[in-house]
Amino acid sequence: MQAAALISACALVLGLCAPGAAATGAAAAPLSRPAVPPGPPAAPDPGLAALGRRLFFDPSLSASGKLACASCHDPRYAYGPPPHKALALGGPHMNRPATRAVPSLRYLERVPPFSVKVTLGDGGVGPAGGLTWDGRAASLREQAMIPLFGPNEMANAGPRQVVAKLRRAAYAAQFRLEFGARVFSRPDEAFADALLALEAFERTPAEFFPYSSKYDAYLRGEAQLTAQEKRGLEVFDSPARGNCANCHLSRSADGSPPLFTDFEFDNIGAPRNPRIPANADPNYYDMGLCGPQRTDLTARKSYCGLFRTPTLRNVAVRDAFFHNGVFGSLRQVVQFYQQRDVLPWQWYPRNADGTIDKVDDLPVALRRNLDIDPPFEGREGGQIGAISDADIDDLIAFMRTLTDGYQPPGPQRAAQPPAKAPPAAGAG
Ligand code: HEC
Ligand code: HEC
């Protein structure tokens, strides 16, 4: 959905969206990194969260009747896409293709609100925060309107259509119990209530921020990393080598579990993905912060091509990476970081004159926004230096320690029955 439509939906559901939410990040007061809340938020109301769970798994809330939030955000995959489904189909007939990869919904609880005036890690001031790849949604409840109304997602015409479905849902009585017997007679309020319920579910700690990876156990002193995982962490943290932790923070200043993102926006130069049908149009570009999904920052040319740094928690359970899902394995991603500047012909197509069409997913005039800090090495045809081939294996091993549900090995554990199977998508 376009930001304009989001704003009008905000207006419909009065008081729902933060003032100026999608429109005026620029007006917000400066925030600095410590403004990120130090710990997880208070647990949501259990009744509301349980109702939100019903909504989240309910395909009848889509125009097709086939698409629930959980179809794209599958609990078996850290609320990210199931295999081969990162670029999802949606719409009334389930044939409208996506333009962006489905992100995981885990570890969003501390994403600060979007602002263009955040004091950044490098000391400058710039954009950070907000939900979605371009930060255009200010809160989980505001974000939920994007898929509910998105023509290539759940494709509802408006709040009233959603509420008509809620009224017929198996959990309608639960909805009345939570929000009052006459809730459905005021559709705009009922819709706002539905968004609140979804948000409450998405803030359930055990589901959405369990902090149960091997790396969390390691930070708590309850697990040892293998030699390879340790080497991977060293490359990840070292400013002269991977420099990954510069953006994907592996520690937090206050000792709370790190989120592997600084919430900032960067242009990493992800190659154009020909599997996105919209890309068949040579004039179409998904430029992140400067549009076209977001419409309030289109004049800020220095923001074109910038996307929010995603968390790397649970990244090893994905099979599509970057905002456009262009890469299919973690190895490809790390090789890209290793080789983008030195061996660009490995990653980008050639122009008719034989030159490399580097950063081909942005109009030529905007390619100067490309991030060139380490591990990127600047010179084409030079020596690969920052990340060696052995480092790639080590980095991947380390990123695998970020998957939730770590079970420490040991005799007592081995004697126990296997861990309970995760809930199936579509259940509930
Ligand atoms: C057709 C697949 C699909 C469905 C159905 C879907 N989503 Fe998403 N979701 C996406 C994609 C793709 C994005 C990234 C959107 C963007 O960056 O513009 C996303 C982003 C999000 C985000 C922001 C994540 C972040 O990292 O900032 C949240 C929260 C979210 N979805 C919640 C929901 C909820 C709640 C529902 C059901 C009401 C839902 N989604 C239904 C595909 C889907
Ligand atoms: C300058 C900041 C920055 C640095 C340094 C950086 N990243 Fe990233 N990373 C990003 C951004 C921004 C994205 C999303 C880019 C996009 O979608 O176009 C990303 C995406 C990723 C993804 C894909 C995640 C997903 O859910 O699709 C992986 C994996 C990743 N980075 C790993 C690494 C590793 C490993 C390193 C070090 C070798 C590293 N990053 C260094 C900013 C950074």
| pLDDT at residue 418 in the model | 47
Q: How confident is the model at residue 1 (pLDDT cuts 50, 70, 90)?
A: very low
Within its chain, how far is the Cα of 23 from the centroid? 20
38 and 113 both lie in a single domain: yes
CA of 379 to the centre of ligand 1 (A): 37
Q: Helices marked H in 64-186 — which ranges?
A: 69-72, 140-143, 145-149, 159-168, 172-179
Nearest Cα neighbor of 66 from 97, 93, 87 is: 93
Of 208, 238, 257, which residue is a domain's last?
Answer: 208
Tens of pLDDT, residue by residue over 379-396, are: 888 888 899 999 999 999
Amino acid of residue 137: A
pLDDT of res. 14: 38
Instruction: Return the axis-axis angle of helices 389-400 and 330-339, rounded to nearest 10°.
Output: 140
Q: What are the CA-CA distances from residue 47 to residues 43, 54, 107, 370 (Å)? A: 11, 11, 22, 46
CA 265 to chain centre: 12
Asked if residue 387 and residue 335 are part of one domain, the reply reads yes
In a shared domain, residues 199 and 255: no
**370 and 379 in contact (C-beta within 8 Å)?**
no
> Is the pLDDT at 263 greater than 90, yes or no?
yes
Domain boundary among 177, 208, 239: 208
- Clarify whether residues 193 and 291 are in a common domain: no
**pLDDT tens string 138-169:** 999 999 999 999 999 999 999 999 999 999 99
The mean pLDDT of the chain is: 89
Contact 286, 99 (CB under 8 A): yes
Nearest ligand, measured from the Cα of 323: 2
Residue 428 pLDDT: 33
| β-bridge partners, 308 | 265
Q: Is residue 366 part of a domain?
A: yes
Does any ligand 2 atom lie closer than 6 A to the CB of residue 107? no
Q: Quick check: CB of 98 below 6 Å from ligand 1?
A: yes
Same domain, 285 and 382: yes
User: In this structure, is residue 74 part of a structural domain?
Assistant: yes
Q: Are residues 184 and 228 in the same domain?
A: no
Q: Of 58, 105, 145, 208, which is best to mutate to test ligand 1, by the most ligand atoms within 8 angstroms of its C-beta? A: 105
Q: Is the CB of 290 under 6 A from ligand 1?
A: no
Containing domain of residue 271, as a range? 212-404
Those residues with Cβ within 8 angstroms of residue 99's Cβ, 6 or more apart along the chain or in another chain: 152, 276, 278, 286, 293, 324
Tokens coding 293: 């999904």
Task: Output the CA 310–ligand 2 centroid distance in Å.
Answer: 7
**At 278, which CATH number?**
1.10.760.10
Q: Which ligand is nearest to the CA of 338?
A: 2
Determine the pLDDT at residue 380. 86
Q: Position 404: which residue type?
A: D
Query: Do residue 203 and residue 181 come from a single domain?
Result: yes
Q: Whose CA is nearest to atom 2 of ligand 1?
A: 72
pLDDT of residue 379: 83
Q: Within a domain: residue 123?
A: yes
Average pLDDT over residues 226-247: 97
Atom of ligand 1 nearest to the CA of 140: 29
Long-range pairs, 174-179, Cβ under 8 A, ≥24: 174/50, 174/51, 174/54, 175/51, 177/47, 178/47, 178/48, 178/51
Q: Out of 337, 369, 371, give the residue to mutate to test ligand 2, the one with the largest number of ligand atoms within 8 Å of its CB.
A: 337
Q: Which of 185, 208, 231 is the last residue of a domain?
A: 208
Task: Indicate whether residue 338 lines ligand 2 (CB < 6 A).
Answer: no
> How many separate domains does the chain show?
2
| pLDDT for residue 381 | 81
pTM over 0.75? The answer is: yes
Q: Could you tell me if residue 252 is inside a domain? A: yes
pLDDT value at residue 221: 95
Å from CA of 361 to ligand 2 middle:
16
**Res. 332: pLDDT tops 90:** yes
The answer to whether position 339 is within a domain reads yes
Tell me, yes or no, whether 102 and 193 share the same domain. Answer: yes
Q: How far apart are CA 124 and CA 136, in angstroms?
A: 21
Q: Is residue 419 part of a domain?
A: no
* Residues 294 and 394 placed together within one structural domain of the fold: yes
Q: Is the CB of 305 under 6 A from ligand 2?
A: no
Q: Same structural domain for residues 199 and 247?
A: no
252 in the same domain as 313 = yes
* Nearest residue to 419 via CA among 409, 138, 313, 428: 409
Question: Do residues 179 and 193 lie in contact, with contact meaning Cβ atoms separated by under 8 Å?
Answer: yes
Among 67, 71, 73, name the best residue to mutate to test ligand 1's pocket (greatest count of ligand atoms within 8 A of Cβ): 73
- What is the predicted pLDDT for the residue at 334? 98
Residue 344 has pLDDT above 80, yes or no: yes
- What's the whole-number mean pLDDT along residues 338-342? 96
- pLDDT value of position 410: 74
- Which of 54, 61, 132 has the most ligand 1 atoms within 8 A of CB, as the residue to mutate? 132
Asked if 218 and 163 sit in the same domain, the reply is no
132 lines ligand 1 (CB under 6 A): yes
Distance, first Cα to last Cα, the chain: 27
What's the 324 CA to ligand 1 centre distance in angstroms? Answer: 14
Q: Of 5-14, 78-87, 205-214, 277-286, where does mean pLDDT reach its minimum? A: 5-14
